[in-house]
Structures are given as C-alpha cells and as structure tokens.
Amino acid sequence: MKRIGSLLFAFIALVVATVAGLGIGYLLWDQHPNWYAVDVNKLGPGPEADLIRYGRDLIVNTPTHIGKSATNPAMRYAGNDLACRNCHLNAGLQPFAAPFVSTFATFPMLGDDQVLTLTDRINGCMRRSLNGKDLPPDSREMEALIAYFQFVGKGTPDGVRLAGMGLKSIKPPEQPPDSRRGQEVYAKLCANCHKEDGQGELRQGGVGYSIPPLWGDASFNAGAGMAKTAYAASYIHDNMPFGITYQDPVLSLQQAWDVAAYIISKPHPAATAETASKLE
C-alpha cells in the first residue's frame, strides 16, 4: 500500500509539474531571445561533440542512416525514407514546427495516462511517423538523438515547456473540414512542391526526399500525429507553404483545416494495435 501511495503521489506531482511548466514557458518567451538559435557548428572536437553532431545528422539525413534504404540492411529501422527534419523543421529549431528545444527538459512526461520516457517518445516516432520499428535503447543512434536534444535545450529550465514548443493551438474551423475544398487549395498552394499525386520529390544525389510524400506507402502511417486533422491543420497553417512561419501564415484557418482533411482522406500505411495505443 505504501508503494502504491508513493507511485500515486509521484503521478500527481508529475501532472502538476506539467501544467505549471506550460505556463512558465510562456512567461519566459521574451526573457531569452535565442532559445531557438542553436548552432552545432560551434561545437569543438571530442567524442561528446561528435555524438551531438551525429544526432543532428540523424535528424537531417535520417534515411541515409536508419531509413528503409539505408546502406547497412541491419540499420533499416524506419519503414520509409522520410527524414525527421521533414516535420521537425530546421533540425528541430523552428518554433511551432514540433521543435526539440524543451524536449530533454520535459521528459519523462505524461501521455495517455502513463509516464513516457524520452526513449519511448523517440520510438513512437520510429513506429508511426517513420512507419518502422524501435531503435534499441542502448544503440549509438538513440544516444546521439538524446545528446542532440540535450544540447539544443541547454540552459532551458527543467520541466518547462517553452513557448513555441509543439504545435500552436488552432481555432476550430467556421465550417466542418471538407476534403473537396481541401483538394482545390492543395492544387493551388501545395501541389507545386508536393506534386499532384502527393508523392513529393526525391532527393537528388542522395537517399530520401527533398520534399516529403504526404500520402501513400512512403508516407507516415495512420497512427502518426499528422494523421490527426487538428495536428495537421495546425502544422500546415503555421509552416506551409515551406518558408513561412506562424507569424506570417499564407493559408486561412479554414483552408488549413480543409487541406488537412484532404491529405488525411488519402491512403496511408495502416497503424498496428501497438501504434494506435501510444501517444504520438
């Protein structure tokens, strides 16, 4: 009974800390103007710096190292050739594009009424967004990713989710999301890059994509965060077309919801029962 009570107390404390952390993060928004201005190139030599650089390279060149087409068959943990940077823009340093700045400082965290470790969260992306399998927790790749997250979050307060983290809350649409309207918006504003068939553009002279596919076998699976209309709408509104930011959106809120509905209406790899039961 004492152990159960201790676990319950720890669980409640983690809930309180999570809620408080969100509020504190916004109070700190203007107190450190360079939270998202981290430069790996300034690192010196040494094994620790090498591990951090490898972590960033895994984010930017994911398919080369652990993708479906990785040179070493034993390293093909992902089930597609997407790169982490396809969603986590600027190697996880763009506000409201699912950045990594507060990631290390805010794990473990609560999700789906369970405590999730950073390793759990990374492997959630491996299974869903990359439609693959878990990285071994003791692998150099897992160590490198965590080292990179820790580096880009250096100096951020523990347990605080800084403003700009995750995705920006999006207002409900005035009309229900409509994939037919979304198709029209896609043709005008998205197809130029992602192509009419949604398959993006292959990277010239390398593995993976310069522009990622949005549906089909090479895309994220149905359990990924981007397969949720609200997630996709928020991301699209604040980050697309590529090059814009949440401060200068091109799409209206309704257009973002409609395009999200259109993309999600297209085929995606199926999510497994394990995938569906975990937080994206």
Q: How many CB atoms lie within 10 A of CB 249?
A: 17
Q: How far apart are CA 144 and CA 140, in angstroms?
A: 6
Q: DSSP readout, 77-133?
A: -SSS---GGGTSHHHHTSTTS--STTTGGG-SEEETTEEE-HHHHHHHHHHTTS-S-
Rounded distance between C-alpha atoms, residue 192 and residue 149, angstroms: 33
What is the distance, to the nearest Å, from the Cα of residue 40 to the centroid of all Cα atoms in its chain? 19
Q: Could you give the 3-state DSSP secondary structure of residue 211?
A: strand
One of 1.10.760.10, 3.40.50.1400, 3.30.420.40, 3.30.360.10 is the CATH number of 179-276, namely: 1.10.760.10
CATH of domain 2-152: 1.10.760.10
Tokens of 209: 């994509």
C-alpha to C-alpha distances, 257 to 37, 98, 149, 208, 229, nearest whole angstrom = 30, 18, 30, 28, 7
* Distances in whole angstroms, Cα of residue 236 to Cα of each of 120, 133, 215, 218, 245: 26, 27, 15, 19, 10
Give the pLDDT of the chain (280 residues) as one tens digit per residue: 434 444 333 433 433 344 444 444 444 444 555 789 999 999 999 999 999 999 999 999 999 999 999 999 999 999 999 999 999 999 999 999 999 999 999 999 877 778 899 999 999 999 999 999 999 999 999 999 999 999 999 999 888 889 999 999 999 999 999 999 999 999 999 999 999 999 999 999 889 999 999 999 999 999 999 999 999 999 999 999 999 999 999 999 999 999 999 999 999 999 976 655 444 4
Q: Give the start-to-end residue ranges of the domains of the chain.
A: 2-152, 179-276
Q: CA of 270: how far to CAs of 10, 179, 274, in Å?
A: 36, 20, 11
CA torsion, points 39, 44, 46, 52, in degrees to nearest 10?
A: 0
- pLDDT, residue 32, reads 59
Matching CATH topology for 2-152 and 179-276?
A: yes
Angstrom distance (rounded) from CA 223 to CA 165: 21
What number of other Cβ atoms are within 10 A of residue 120's Cβ? 18
pLDDT of residue 206: 86
**b/e string for 132-157 if b means 16 or more Cβ within 10 A?**
beebeeeeebbebbbbbbbbbbeebb
pLDDT attached to residue 276: 52
The residue written with tokens 């430069």 in the block is 39
